[in-house]
Structure 1
Amino acid sequence: MVNLLEVLKKEIVPAEGCTEPIAVAYAVSLAAELLEEEITGIQLFLSGNIIKNAMGVGIPGTGQTGLPIAAALGAVIRRSHRKLEILSGLTAVELSQANAIIDRKLLAVELKDTPEKLYIEARVQSANHRATAVVAKEHTNIVLLEKDGIPINIQKDKGDCGEDEQLSPEDYAVSLEGIYEFVCTTAFTDLEFLLEGARMNKAISDEGLRGDYGLQVGKKMSQRSAVNLFGNDVANSVIAATAAASDARMDGSAMPVMTTAGSGNQGIAATLPVIKLAELMGKSDDMLARAIALSNLVTVHVKHYIGRLSPLCGSGIAGGVGANSGIIYLMGGSLDQIKHGIQNTIASLSGMICDGAKSTCALKISTATNAAIQAATLAMNNISPTDNDGVIFEKVEDTIRNMERLVQEGLAATDETILNIMLSKA
């Protein structure tokens, strides 16, 4: 039997920094903790998607970007028990030690020839020992841990509902009817924990609106000036608040975010439009928690078919579809109108590619949020595309399911092309 509350608790977890480079730091830390000697070398073997999503993103508390500093920090701080919050509490001494590892050229990175989209293999060397940690499929899912070639028993936290706990495929293939019924009938006390994530994501949004982070997409959209064509309306306030959180996160803010399906930007894209709209509409905590639950579960549902890491922008497409569902729910829409909204959003965003984690993610998220609002407006007027329109099918589940076909058949070489283009600039 599908346990959607368990899915929510597994897929909605806090993280500090972009999850791909942070997962690299986590893997390096796992291996480094097995050594008691000074580290003499770090070798990373990474899937293309990990490299693509870690090249240009800011690393919290460092003022630096990319894989080298993330990996070096993992070797220094050795706090793997913090998982995706491993960099929390980073000190100036630790940062200096990590930079020394980079300066000594102890780090080597290679592209791993693997069909696995999310693959991190960290080999850490000391004078007399070598330790290896492999994380795959999900950002904290350890598949191998060994010292000097001898496997180490991997201990799972008892009762842990974190990302590394595997759920069955049926938990992710649940129908929209099942999701909607869960959202409408589950006790508020069971969903109340989602409000902590709402507070966390709103805090980094507020920080993005205050500071000069990244491209300042959200901040500039929210400011009234002669060069700002956006009005002071509900839609623009929602878009600006959402983009601002991504501005701050991608530029290395040390503030945590509540992730969805392994991505902080997905968490931002799926929840902040709902959070901001609920605030502007004066909705209750009960209504907000249910809308966030719906948005997150729809996002996870779409991601099940797109893939954990993908040539398609999960934050824009899956997060946008999820946000659209939450927006319609807050507006009093029916299940049929939510289905209309999903069709409208996919029709608008299905071609958005992922070219890595970086400052322009805020632009994509702002575009997706705008599309979600537009799609919700049409849906509330009972308007949606038909099966004569492109990749849209008569049944919304078929539309979602065929996103997997689009990725696997139509975009099979896209990731490699994107990565080659990015690497050609180095």
Structure 2
Amino acid sequence: MKEVYLQKLKEEFVPALGCTEPVAVAYAASKAREILNQFPDRIEFHVSGNIFKNGMGVGIPGSTMVGLTIAGALGALGGNPMAGLEVLDGINHDVVELAQTYVKQGKVKVDVKYNVAKLYIECICYKGEESGRVIIQDRHTNIVSMERNGVVLYKSNPESKEDAVSSMKDWSFSSIYDFINTVDIADIAFLEKGIALNKSIAEEGLKGCYGLQVGKSMMLNIQKGILKEDLMSRSIMLTAAASDARMAGSSMPVMSNCGSGNQGISVTLPVVVAAEEFKVGNDKLLRALALALLVTIYMKSFVGQLSALCGVLLSTAGAGCGITYIMGGDFQQLGMTLQNMTGSVTGMICDGAKYGCSHKIAASVSAAIQSSLLAMNHNCLNGSNGIIDDDVEVTIRNIGRLANEGMEVTDEVILKTMLEKMKQVS
């Protein structure tokens, strides 16, 4: 499994500039414009409910605006179609002004398309009677269809949820543990880039006045002596600060995981803080981070890319395992950490990307550290507790079942509520 795990880490732990759902919309627009081969005079988007809700309230880098319309306009008018999730890197002021004009003049339309995949983006760029059309599905940069003037240029078969799970059939909690203990450190040294990126945006979040300022408020309360600067406070402070900056539209990139910047931030920074607090070497930090990432990726395969279940549960569960590893926990205690985490913030809803995400991250990081500390004392929630099973593999699958079967109606209610709110505002 060594090469499989290394390849997956390289596929999932990648840089992203801005919240990944509106960035995926911008990417689709940049590709549609590329196909059209000229600047469009109007742009249409048809997106799934999950894409729509994750773009309503989040800041778009460089624009001082929120929403999918400005993200799409920026992508179509100045995005780099070769840059993937960094499509908006280098957007200049003139493009921003032009994009804002397009939005104000109603040249960018976004609507919800039903009965499609949870991650679905269709973009059509028009110039007179000519058009360029792109469809992204299942993953944020996974183009499944391209057309010019109605002529199909490219078409692929979208991956089903069953295919995604099947492709990871040889994965297991125990094989991940074996991998991180035996992999050559040189093979996972590339993870250091993610540590550097995510620490940088955390520092930016503490310096600036972004969003809800969850991280900065903690820093100020530490300075006032209300809170103590310890493992818990520093982990929450840095992780929340990074999310504060990102959700408010900072132009700094982050290292995402599983298509989410917030999940990349929240799986990385608590592990980094723990390594600093316990003064472990860089080798152990990299092994702990690889463990945290792979546990998150494994759990995510059962939940799916987008869900009504807040994905930070998965990333902080991975981080909790990484922290336990740093503290010298064994395989049994890693399982205990995940079991404990399942009994805490599981069920936290995803009601779109927004400033409040940093508040949810703070709660999840706290739960992860508590879960880890309980496990280190050999305290563990057992199979008599709700959806937890004594077998950690079954527990992971139960979380996926909760997200996909149990929260389908929740997803519908969240979207309905948010759409009604939009109508009231307009």
TM-score bucket (shorter structure): over 0.9
SS at 2:318's partner residue? helix
| Equivalence for 1:102 | 103
- Distance of aligned partners of 1:170 and 1:37 in 2 relative to their CA distance in 1, 3 Å threshold: closer
Q: Does 1:360 align with 2:361?
A: no
Structure 1 segments unaligned to the other structure (5+ residues): 156-165
Instruction: Indicate if the aligned counterparts of 2:222 and 2:228 stay in contact, CA closer than 8 A.
Output: no
SS at 1:303's partner residue? helix
Deviation of the 1:230 alpha carbon: 2.7
Deviations 1:271-291 (CA, angstroms, capped at 9, x unpaired): 110012212222221111111
The one of 188, 193, 209 equivalent to 1:191 is: 188
SS at 2:141's partner residue? coil
Deviation of the 1:154 alpha carbon: 7.2
SS at 2:382's partner residue? coil
| Equivalence for 1:219 | 216
Q: Does 1:230 align with 2:211?
A: no
Instruction: Indicate if the aligned counterparts of 1:37 and 1:127 stay in contact, CA closer than 8 A.
Output: no
SS at 1:3's partner residue? helix
Deviation of the 1:421 alpha carbon: 1.2
Q: Does 1:178 align with 2:179?
A: no
Deviations 1:375-418 (CA, angstroms, capped at 9, x unpaired): 00100011111111111111011011011221222111111111
> What CA distance in whole angstroms lies between the structure 1 residues aligned with 2:13 and 2:133?
28
SS at 1:348's partner residue? coil
Deviation of the 1:167 alpha carbon: 7.4
The one of 239, 246, 249 equivalent to 1:249 is: 246
| Equivalence for 1:383 | 379
Deviation larger for 59-68 or 336-345: 59-68
Deviation larger for 302-311 or 98-107: 98-107
SS at 2:210's partner residue? coil
Query: What is the correspondence of 1:207-356 to structure 2 with a 5 Å cutoff?
Result: 207-224=204-221, 229-315=226-312, 317-356=313-352
> What CA distance in whole angstroms lies between the structure 1 residues aligned with 2:169 and 2:371?
24
> What CA distance in whole angstroms lies between the structure 1 residues aligned with 2:281 and 2:224?
36
> What CA distance in whole angstroms lies between the structure 2 residues aligned with 1:399 and 1:237?
29
Instruction: Indicate if the aligned counterparts of 2:144 and 2:154 stay in contact, CA closer than 8 A.
Output: no
SS at 2:8's partner residue? helix
SS at 1:424's partner residue? helix
Deviation of the 1:34 alpha carbon: 1.7
Deviation larger for 280-289 or 347-356: 280-289
SS at 2:317's partner residue? helix
Deviation of the 1:322 alpha carbon: 0.5
> What CA distance in whole angstroms lies between the structure 2 residues aligned with 1:183 and 1:221?
33
Deviation of the 1:227 alpha carbon: 7.7
| Equivalence for 1:35 | 36
| Equivalence for 1:23 | 24
Q: What is the identity, as a one-letter code, of the residue corresponding to 1:185? A: T
Q: What is the identity, as a one-letter code, of the residue corresponding to 1:29? A: S
| Equivalence for 1:69 | 70
Q: TM-score by structure 2 length?
A: 0.94
| Equivalence for 2:160 | none
- Percent identity between the aligned chains? 44
| Equivalence for 1:158 | none
Please report the RMSD computed on the Cα atoms of aligned residues, expressed in angstroms. Answer: 1.7
Deviation larger for 33-42 or 1-10: 33-42
Deviations 1:155-188 (CA, angstroms, capped at 9, x unpaired): 9xxxxxxxxxx97733366111100111010000
SS at 1:332's partner residue? coil
> What CA distance in whole angstroms lies between the structure 1 residues aligned with 2:251 and 2:109?
26
Deviation larger for 218-227 or 96-105: 218-227
Give the number of equivalent residue pairs.
Answer: 415
Deviation larger for 339-348 or 109-118: 109-118
SS at 2:374's partner residue? helix
Deviation of the 1:114 alpha carbon: 2.2
Instruction: Indicate if the aligned counterparts of 1:172 and 1:301 stay in contact, CA closer than 8 A.
Output: no
Structure 2 segments unaligned to the other structure (5+ residues): 157-162
SS at 1:214's partner residue? coil
Q: Does 1:48 align with 2:49?
A: yes
Q: What is the identity, as a one-letter code, of the residue corresponding to 1:197? A: G
Query: What is the correspondence of 1:39-188 to structure 2 with a 5 Å cutoff?
Result: 39-153=40-154, 169-171=166-168, 174-188=171-185
Query: What is the correspondence of 1:384-399 to structure 2 with a 5 Å cutoff?
Result: 384-399=380-395
Instruction: Indicate if the aligned counterparts of 1:125 and 1:131 stay in contact, CA closer than 8 A.
Output: yes
Deviation larger for 140-149 or 102-111: 102-111
Deviation of the 1:78 alpha carbon: 3.8
Deviation of the 1:140 alpha carbon: 0.2
Instruction: Indicate if the aligned counterparts of 1:250 and 1:361 stay in contact, CA closer than 8 A.
Output: yes
SS at 2:203's partner residue? helix
Instruction: Indicate if the aligned counterparts of 1:7 and 1:171 stay in contact, CA closer than 8 A.
Output: no
Q: TM-score by structure 1 length?
A: 0.94
- Distance of aligned partners of 1:139 and 1:226 in 2 relative to their CA distance in 1, 3 Å threshold: closer
